[in-house]
Amino acid sequence: MKHTYTSLEKKLQYTFKNKLLLETALTHKTYAFEAEEPIDYNERLEFLGDSILNFVVSKELYKKNNYFSEGELTRRRAQLVNNVLLSKKALSFDLGEYIYLGKGATLQNIEKNKRNLANTLEAIIGAIYIDSNLRTVETFILKTLLQLR
């Protein structure tokens, strides 16, 4: 399963110290379930990445919009953090080319599925956080992902 990720890291503008984290972020559960030996897959990183993404965007909206109500902040966050926008960004990184999928998922072209692309990008966010720190992942989210800085 070893892969060189240099081109993906260049697109992400982040180089992983621990390549195994990136590999796990790119591993769909269908691939892991078909593997001969147990391997990690991306759902736990996706959970972490989703939480970090929402936190970072919430913090940025809170800092820059002193007069917005809670409801308005929530609405704006939903505009910035959703599967449509995340999947578009994942497509701009050609993320589907790097995802490890099981045979059945490959036949169904799941690497082009918007939800799967968004989920994989969230897993990458979780992996960047573990590989670095909150400041680095915040920069990735705001600058590279959402172009807010």
Q: Which residues are catalytic?
A: 50, 122
Least Cα distance to 126 among 63, 41, 39, 38 occurs for 41
User: How many Å apart are CA 28 and CA 30, to the nearest integer?
Assistant: 5
Q: Report the C-alpha dihedral over residues 135, 67, 71, 58, rounded to 10 degrees.
A: 0
